[in-house]
Structure 1
Amino acid sequence: MQRDYWPTTEWRTREPAALGMDTEKFSELNQLIKTQYSNLNGIVVVHKGYIAFEKYENSFIASDTHHVASVTKSITSALIGIAIDKGYIKSVDEKVLDFFPEYVSVASDIQKRAVTIRQLLTMTAPFPFTWKPGGGAQEPLDRLRRQKDWTKYTLDLLGQKGRMGEFQYCTAGAHLLSVILTRTTGKSAREFANEQLFGPIGMKIIAERQMKSFGLEDVFGKSLKGWIHDPTGNSTGGWGLCLTLRDMARFGFLYLNDGIWEDKQIISTKWHDESITMNANKYGYLWWLHEEDGNYAYMAMGDGGNAIICIPAKDLIVAIASKIVNKPRDIWPLIKNCIIPSVVIR
């Protein structure tokens, strides 16, 4: 797809009508946000490479960063892809335990020894808890944050009574991918992202921040800043990253352009395509997949309604930052009823 500019330094904005969009749909969007989505802190809509709509609520402004929760997983996926492209990791079919030679696996751990990177990426690794659609993951993340060694704790869970190949959403499993990144590249996921992903596409560089404690507020709450790490220095792979809305949109724009940025292939076409190919689980390599009314979308989704939604057929990106609350309202109706129909002229 030809672009007349790249938002590496700064996003350009255009009025929706100039981009062939129905302005009335954005009036409807405004009203829905005010009446039904009180936890929404900001939204950016990009069409044809230009910001067509940008709105902030609850005293937030454009320069503020937001904890994007599980949107972090899709960033981790991109970093695994870059690490494979650069030869740090051979392939997604490498066995997970091969990266942890110090971990002692008993003879009965047949399932555990068979788990691959691919299964962590697709959420089909065996873990001893269940995931319920709409109800979230039933995994002990609060117990995880109280461990001195998150890696050993997660490896201990892996293979216990879970079913190999069955979709089972697991945030702790995504953290293992971050540890694998560090063990193969010699850099934390944060450092690797700054160098190979964030910097090249103009996203804000994430500074190092030492964790003084691992209380609930430090790990999941208001004290969370930058990109948090576990007690042994590994960036959290499944949550814990803070981004501006415009940087969330930059990441979406990279994927909307098949991993290319300013004529440079940041993420290989192969990895890009594998990551977002529709399947029976409607989940790619740490990307949610959705198709409705002929519109295909791939989505980086986080708790509370945090999201980066890419709709290639409409040349659309929607980035949303939200406060994490109990039982948040589904954000898809905003996309389906207001934003997709706003594109009148493709």
Structure 2
Amino acid sequence: MNQEKITELEKVINKDHSNIGGMVVLKNGETLYEKYFNGCTADCRIHVYSVTKSILSVLVGIAMDQGYIKSVSQKVLDFFPDYTVKKGEKTIQNITLEHLLTMTAPYKYKFAPYIKYFTSDNFVKFTLNLLGGRGQIGDFCYTPLIGPDILSGILSNSTGRSVFDFASENLFSPLGIAVARSLTFQSKEEQMAFNTSTNISGWASDPAGNNTGGWGLSLSPVDMAKIGQLYLNGGVWNGKQIVSKSWTEESTKEHSRWEKCSLPYGYLWWISGDTEQGFSAMGDGGNVIYVNTHREMVVSIASLFTKNVKDRIAFIKDYVEPAFDKNFS
């Protein structure tokens, strides 16, 4: 560690990334840095927004390992046998699990109907009714909120359990991650309080009990780092295979690309587009699980929500890696 660079790093945090609640740096599986800001402590749990998507990807891999899901090539409607295809609708019948994982499924909305979504009783049914339309299957279309819930429905329908229960047994408990309960909000005010809280542990769900797919999970920086280290270890934790190495590799290689920003995408993971191999889970407000496989480094950042944060990946590459990797050049 370079103390001079760590001092510089913390000055940059205070100046340009002042909404950070906590940050953890692991190198070769060892904790090199764990620090909290803005009154946060190791006991705090912060809403990590779209980092939730990458956790969902891990769970899909586990469900496949256990035989609940046969293949990413399975049609989405295979998991919803009671869904009635409307007359003239063809696109939805050809959409696969892989299209959902790679953000290459089309939807019927031009502008996401967030108010209707948040006030619906069943996020999965609401979103499934928006799947398809006239868009082209295979074109990258990132869906921040309305889309990933279909994957939650697929997990629940295939495993016969809620996403929270499946995750608790097969991912959270083995890694020592504490997520207290499913959370159903009774009002807009309750949800907004969750978004800004640092002491609510849980995973958001709709009134029907469907856990959210694209947002809604609260974690600590240590929890987030554990997920990154799990993937860096090829799915192994304390000698136990939690998720198959083949899934960790397949889900963190490029399957699609957001051409507008030249960002490669895996299965709900963002892929490093530079010479060093790596991948990231990224959530609104600057929440990040960053994995550099070349340097065997994991960086997790949990952030208090604010709009228009500065690029966290650039921050990690410019300041964090140089401070904690003696071979950095």
Q: TM-score, normalised by structure 2?
A: 0.91
User: What is the aligned counterpart of 1:155 among 128, 132, 146?
Assistant: 128
Matches within 5 A, 1:1-346: 16=1, 22-129=2-109, 139-170=112-143, 171-204=145-178, 206-215=179-188, 217-218=190-191, 221-222=195-196, 225-279=201-255, 281=257, 282-292=264-274, 294-342=275-323, 343-345=325-327
1:115, CA displacement in angstroms?
A: 0.6
Residue identity opposite 1:213 in structure 2: Q
Contact kept in structure 1, 2:27 and 2:297, CA below 8 Å: yes
Residue identity opposite 1:54 in structure 2: E
1:280, CA displacement in angstroms?
A: 5.0
- For 2:184 and 2:140, the matched residues in 1 are separated by 32
1:268, CA displacement in angstroms?
A: 0.7
Contact kept in structure 2, 1:145 and 1:214, CA below 8 Å: no
Residue aligned with 1:221, SS: helix
Q: TM-score, normalised by structure 1?
A: 0.87
1:279, CA displacement in angstroms?
A: 4.5
- For 2:176 and 2:121, the matched residues in 1 are separated by 35
The more displaced of 118-127 and 167-176 is 167-176
Contact kept in structure 2, 1:275 and 1:287, CA below 8 Å: yes
Contact kept in structure 1, 2:252 and 2:271, CA below 8 Å: yes
Residue identity opposite 1:297 in structure 2: G
- For 1:266 and 1:47, the matched residues in 2 are separated by 21
Identity of aligned residues (%): 42
Q: Which runs of 5+ in 2 are unaligned?
A: 258-263
Q: Which runs of 5+ in 1 are unaligned?
A: 1-15, 17-21, 131-137
- For 2:256 and 2:208, the matched residues in 1 are separated by 36
1:278, CA displacement in angstroms?
A: 2.8
- Post-superposition CA distance 1:6-54 (Å, at most 9, x none): xxxxxxxxxx3xxxxx332212210100111111111111112111112
- For 1:63 and 1:212, the matched residues in 2 are separated by 22
- For 1:217 and 1:322, the matched residues in 2 are separated by 19
